[in-house]
Amino acid sequence: MPPLRTRAALLRIGEGLIGRYTSGPDGVLRFEGPRPGPGWHRHDWRSRRLTVRRDAGFAETVVARRRWLRYGTTQTQVDITPDEVGATRVVTLLMLLKTAAWLLAGVGLHTHDDPLDPKEKAGTRRTVQRWLHRLLPDATRLQGALRTAVIERSEPQPIEKLFPGGLSPPEVIRCRRWKDPDATYRLATALAFLVHGAAALSTSVTVLLAEAQKGLDGPLGTPKR
């Protein structure tokens, strides 16, 4: 498969947000997940400012997450949106695309080109290196969810027809020394499904990741409760 930079002209990002939001006051996006369980009541909202990458460029957006209160206690719980990855400000899609620009380039961290963020407005190369390690625990489920999303989108034609030459990360990834080489290769494969799959299916990476998110069983980079 060609490196990401050769696909940049074909890549459609879309809205950059994969969560299902409603519109609140002043255009703030609101996210509310399912009720945590019996005895939990809607309490208020907790807002976060996030950095988004869209077709038009970078943007800052505020999302308000529902906060729940357990009746008769002071225990609260805040919903986490699919666009959040731990405490980082960048949204899930942007983190994945910047990591893909490195892993799918087939060259080193400090020599790869990032066609979507050439001036490193949202994360230096060292930051991207940290993001890689943050994403590794989710590599297996991310690969499975994205592969399933591509297969479902490509039906009824076999997935092999989308990628006649096969779909694999650059072989150089196998040759490098990683702390967890298997997880790194699975993550790179997941990112190949996201980037090359969206291009082959003529859809945006936002749409493809949103469809894959249904099979992820929770946000990335967040321990399950």
Amino acid, res. 167: L
143 to 23, 79, 212: CA distances (angstroms): 32, 25, 9
pLDDT confidence of 3, banded at 50, 70, 90? Answer: low
Q: What is the per-residue pLDDT for 178? A: 87
Average pLDDT over residues 5-27: 81
Name which residue leads in pLDDT, 163 or 8.
163
Query: What's the chain's average pLDDT?
Result: 89
Per residue in 116-152, pLDDT (tens digit) is 888 888 989 999 999 999 999 999 999 999 999 999 9
Per residue in 68-127, pLDDT (tens digit) is 999 999 999 999 999 999 889 999 999 999 999 999 988 888 888 888 888 888 989 999
Q: What is the per-residue pLDDT for 212? A: 96
| Predicted TM-score (pTM) of this structure | 0.91
